A and B are shown apart, each in its own frame.
Chain A
């Protein structure tokens, strides 16, 4: 049985199910308790599970990452929340130099099973220090997994899979997705990590998009279909380790690929995707150059119109896709 849930409700349901099922799972972070989380995602969990398992922390992002690492190392299954992805900059040492490397450095003798959830993305008028999309920083770190769901059903299934996973997982949520609705199966289920999914089939062009951009790419695809352009939309869902095969297969089929993400273009995940495609057998099928549509290389601006222009919008995707379909190699 499925029913309509918002992305935020789906995440809450996943945490609830995991906590009910496994005593080792606990949730902690800034204002996740009585307040219910800055975006209301954890609303009600404090009332259900109490202050020991739904734990408010001081504003101390380094220690949030440290607690996740230390507790995971010694038998717990922590779910940490970093209130805005921007603040993860204050957690970097523990995540990058400790959590990610411990298993390898110690000769494979330990596991560090935690999930660090964090909302990313612009579009809320919160300006440059509350709107970052920093996922690719973590993609660059062996030992971490990076998950970015785009739908409520994926958010629930992927979060449950991340909690079950024996590795540190950075779980990137998008603020503008929290209120989006979708059909979500009831009960406990996992959506495997490292499994890209074709969200819409098409023959003319592949769009590989992440997070909110998947939603926008699907909207763009609907509009393009009215012009007779059939777009295939692929959502990697897990950025690292990446399941490249469905992407390579799709590009081999369509011969054209547009990569869309919100994070700034330079050094973004799109560069990695482009390289993976260029190095694969899909290269031989390309009828046009690989194109990227991404955030402008600027900090996120406050002004509504400037902020809108900084991040790819549906019309930008439509325009870029249309141009690419007309392009010949």
Chain B
């Protein structure tokens, strides 16, 4: 037990570092494959935000639920999804998590409790209250964590959901990844409130702001919120401050921010920070880190191979899945 590392065991920290590296490598590969024309449509990369995705999910059990966002690749991996079935989904293949019907923006893995990314800003936030109520009414030992961005906090549905979860004491963790921009709209221009977690006061629930690029801080804050939720004390609003290194989507010319600003945030790389902390604590060696990186490369290569070799959906099945 090492208090400076949020009580996480060395083995667990290795797992979490592995997840962060896997997310980074997955998204870098996905971007390359997109540029090569092997993946179509669009995608929203979360490179730079791995600390919040992994730190938040680290505080959850496999049986807990998450609801995710359009920038949800990291959440999906952090909750336990396989890279190969995710990559197959990006390729639109039948073996993908959504049988090629959802793509990047609707990636989900219900077997690991990921009820889905979402193409609508704050789209998952109202559903989270429903999932929380379902858990409460079925007397299950579960919680639901809903990810959303800073942009979502200005949607009306955000207000309705937090209010309801608060009055009904629902086991929901509202996890805001404040990456500073809602597409091009800076949060400072979109909200008069400096700390988005201050909005929790409006619902009579706790709100906390953490450094989203510090996995250990994210984990600790989420852990506290999860404990509250499991104990029947209701929801918590967490704001994790982070930054997306890439544009909003594939069409973004990034006129709304400077290269200097991006560089400044890249120096706060959540992965490099965790590596430093682990090395300083003597639980990660250069060799072990190199090995971890090699392992991730192999995994991604295998995922791409699986995706390429998987069959497309049979056009004869086009009507399937609309109704149960």
Task: Give Cα distance in the complex from A53 to B135, angstroms.
Answer: 14
CB-contact partner of B133 in A62, A70, A109, A110, under 8 A: A70
Known: A69-B130, A76-B134. A97 touches B99 (CB 8 A): no
How many interface residues does chain A have, given as a range?
35 or more
Task: Give Cα distance in the complex from A69 to B118, angstroms.
Answer: 14
Please encode chain B, from 68 to 102, with 1 for each CB lying within 8 Å of some chain A CB and 0 for all others.
00000000000000000000000000001111111
**Are A142's CB and B120's CB within 8 A?**
no
**Are B127's CB and A69's CB within 8 A?**
yes
| Interface pick from B37-45, B153-161, B246-254 | B153-161
Q: Is A123 positioned at the interface, with any CB of B under 8 Å from its CB?
A: no
Q: Is B256 positioned at the interface, with any CB of A under 8 Å from its CB?
A: no
Please encode chain A, from 41 to 81, with 1 for each CB lying within 8 Å of some chain B CB and 0 for all others.
00000000000110001101011011111111111101000
A42 to chain B, nearest CB (A): 18
Q: Which residues of A contact B321 (CB under 8 A)?
A: 103-104, 107-108
Q: Is B4 positioned at the interface, with any CB of A under 8 Å from its CB?
A: no
Q: Which residues of A contact B157 (CB under 8 A)?
A: 62-63, 66, 93-94
Q: Is B60 positioned at the interface, with any CB of A under 8 Å from its CB?
A: no
Q: Is A143 positioned at the interface, with any CB of B under 8 Å from its CB?
A: yes
Q: Is B301 positioned at the interface, with any CB of A under 8 Å from its CB?
A: no
Q: Is B209 positioned at the interface, with any CB of A under 8 Å from its CB?
A: no
**Are A67's CB and B126's CB within 8 A?**
yes
**Are B130's CB and A167's CB within 8 A?**
no
Q: Is B138 positioned at the interface, with any CB of A under 8 Å from its CB?
A: yes
CB-contact partner of A108 in B96, B133, B320, under 8 A: B320
Q: Which residues of A contact B123 (CB under 8 A)?
A: 93-94, 97-98
Task: Give Cα distance in the complex from A75 to B126, angstroms.
Answer: 17
Q: Is A111 positioned at the interface, with any CB of B under 8 Å from its CB?
A: yes
B289 to chain A, nearest CB (A): 36
Known: A74-B65, A93-B120, A107-B98. A60 touches B137 (CB 8 A): no
Q: Which residues of A contact B160 (CB under 8 A)?
A: 58, 60, 62-63, 66
Q: Is B324 positioned at the interface, with any CB of A under 8 Å from its CB?
A: yes
A91 to chain B, nearest CB (A): 9
Of residues 79 through 116 on chain A, the ones whose CB sits less than 8 Å from some CB of chain B are 93-94, 97-98, 102-113
Of residues 111 through 143 on chain A, the ones whose CB sits less than 8 Å from some CB of chain B are 111-113, 142-143
Q: Which residues of B contact A105 (CB under 8 A)?
A: 98, 101-102, 106, 108, 116
Task: Give Cα distance in the complex from A71 to B215, angstroms.
Answer: 31
**Are A63's CB and B97's CB within 8 A?**
no
- Most B CB contacts (10 A, CB to CB) among A67, A70, A78, A108 go to A70
B229 to chain A, nearest CB (A): 15
**Are B106's CB and A106's CB within 8 A?**
yes
Known: A58-B163, A93-B157. A66 touches B323 (CB 8 A): no
**Are A94's CB and B126's CB within 8 A?**
yes
B144 to chain A, nearest CB (A): 8
**Are B134's CB and A63's CB within 8 A?**
no
Known: A93-B157, A105-B102, A107-B101. A70 touches B129 (CB 8 A): yes
B322 to chain A, nearest CB (A): 5
Number of interface residues of B (CB under 8 A): 43
Q: Is A26 positioned at the interface, with any CB of B under 8 Å from its CB?
A: yes
Task: Give Cα distance in the complex from A75 to B98, angstroms.
Answer: 20
Q: Which residues of A contact B156 (CB under 8 A)?
A: 62
**Are A70's CB and B132's CB within 8 A?**
yes
Q: Is A166 positioned at the interface, with any CB of B under 8 Å from its CB?
A: yes
Task: Give Cα distance in the complex from A107 to B110, angstroms.
Answer: 11
Known: A58-B163, A71-B134, A97-B120. A106 touches B127 (CB 8 A): no
Task: Give Cα distance in the complex from A145 to B137, angstroms.
Answer: 26
Q: Which residues of B contact A74 (CB under 8 A)?
A: 65, 115, 130-131, 134-135
Task: Give Cα distance in the complex from A166 to B123, angstroms.
Answer: 22
Q: Which residues of B contact A106 (CB under 8 A)?
A: 97-98, 101-102, 106, 108, 110, 116
**Are A166's CB and B167's CB within 8 A?**
no
Known: A76-B138, A106-B116. A71 touches B130 (CB 8 A): yes
- Most A CB contacts (10 A, CB to CB) among B102, B106, B126 go to B126
Q: Which residues of B contact A107 (CB under 8 A)?
A: 96-102, 321
Task: Give Cα distance in the complex from A69 to B132, angstroms.
Answer: 11
Known: A52-B137, A57-B164, A106-B108. A66 touches B96 (CB 8 A): no
CB-contact partner of B324 in A58, A98, A167, A241, under 8 A: A167
**Are A71's CB and B131's CB within 8 A?**
yes
Known: A63-B160, A107-B96. A94 touches B134 (CB 8 A): no
Task: Give Cα distance in the complex from A66 to B164, angstroms.
Answer: 11
A159 to chain B, nearest CB (A): 18
Task: Give Cα distance in the complex from A75 to B134, angstroms.
Answer: 7
Task: Give Cα distance in the complex from A62 to B163, angstroms.
Answer: 12
- Measured CB to CB, the nearest residue on chain A to B170 is A67
Task: Give Cα distance in the complex from A58 to B161, angstroms.
Answer: 11
7 closest cross-chain pairs (CB), A and B = A70-B130, A66-B126, A107-B99, A108-B321, A70-B127, A166-B324, A63-B160
11 contacts between A and B (CB under 8 A): A60-B160, A63-B163, A70-B67, A70-B126, A71-B131, A73-B130, A74-B130, A74-B135, A106-B110, A108-B99, A241-B323
Known: A62-B157, A66-B125. 8 other contacts (CB 8 A): A58-B164, A62-B160, A65-B126, A66-B129, A66-B160, A67-B126, A73-B127, A105-B98
Please give the residue numbers on chain B whose beta carbons come within 8 Å of chain A beta carbons, in ascending order: 65, 67, 96-102, 106, 108, 110, 115-116, 118-120, 123, 125-135, 137-138, 156-157, 160-161, 163-164, 167, 320-324
Please give the residue numbers on chain A whose beta carbons come within 8 Å of chain B beta carbons, in ascending order: 26, 52-53, 57-58, 60, 62-63, 65-76, 78, 93-94, 97-98, 102-113, 142-143, 145, 166-167, 241
